[in-house]
Amino acid sequence: MLFQMNRVEWERENLGVYREEKGEGVAFLQFQWLLSRVVSLSFSFIFKVFLFYIMRLETRSLTFNAITYHSKVTQCLGNVGGHVWYLGIAKGSIVDPKETVPHPDQEVMQSECGHYYVPPHPDDVCVFRISGPKFLKLNIGTWHAGPLFKADAMEFYNLELSNTNVVDHTTHYFKDGTGTVFAIDD
């Protein structure tokens, strides 16, 4: 684990975030200037447990060997500026452990979050090329890899629960099981 602190502590320590308490929800504007590498402007809004923010991603190659899903949240993702980017997707596979699996050579596994799932078969993964001003909705349980892009850096809108990547994050590594690495030819 990279760090053991909650999101508020991390934001305070790393971003110098100003927070204003409003009843049950928290709303804040976060403006940060990162002068050490790149000047960046980040806006975040939290209301209750939802987090809408702009994330800046750097050096994302057009290959992946892992895929992730969230079992408790629908996630929305879009590119700032409408540039070309890619997203690997596979149908959700949260299951009852007594159900039949989609491929006979796969086993039912238990997530650290407690539910059961079947890792996606490499044949079930599709990669989509996204361009223009689109905001994608990933349903609960949708396996996804990315965003991936050729540029040095890109900004993305993201809407998810404020603790999604801490308490609701299941990842499957294809290299561990099938040795599969996906490469996007653009």
Q: Is residue 100 packed enough to be buried (19+ CB in 10 Å), middle (13-18) or exposed (0-12)? A: exposed
Q: Does residue 9 register a pLDDT over 60?
A: no
pLDDT at residue 146 in the model: 94
pLDDT at residue 108 in the model: 84
DSSP-derived letter for residue 106 is -
Q: Which domains, ranges and CATH numbers included, belong to the chain?
A: 1-48 (no CATH), 50-183 (2.60.120.480)
Contacts of 89 (CB under 8 A, 6+ apart): 125, 126, 127, 128, 138, 142, 143, 144, 145
pLDDT at residue 151 in the model: 94
Mean pLDDT taken over the chain: 74
Quick: pLDDT tens for 128-180. Answer: 999 988 989 999 999 999 999 999 999 998 988 777 777 788 999 987 666 78
Question: Within a 10 A sphere around the Cβ of 180, how many other Cβ atoms?
Answer: 14
pLDDT at residue 67 in the model: 95
Rounded to whole angstroms, the Cα distance separating 79 from 147 reads 9
pLDDT at residue 104 in the model: 66
pTM over 0.85: no
43 or 78: whose pLDDT is higher?
78
Banded pLDDT at 186 (limits 50, 70, 90): confident
Quick: pLDDT tens for 46-68. Answer: 444 677 888 999 989 999 999 99
Q: Does residue 102 register a pLDDT over 80?
A: no
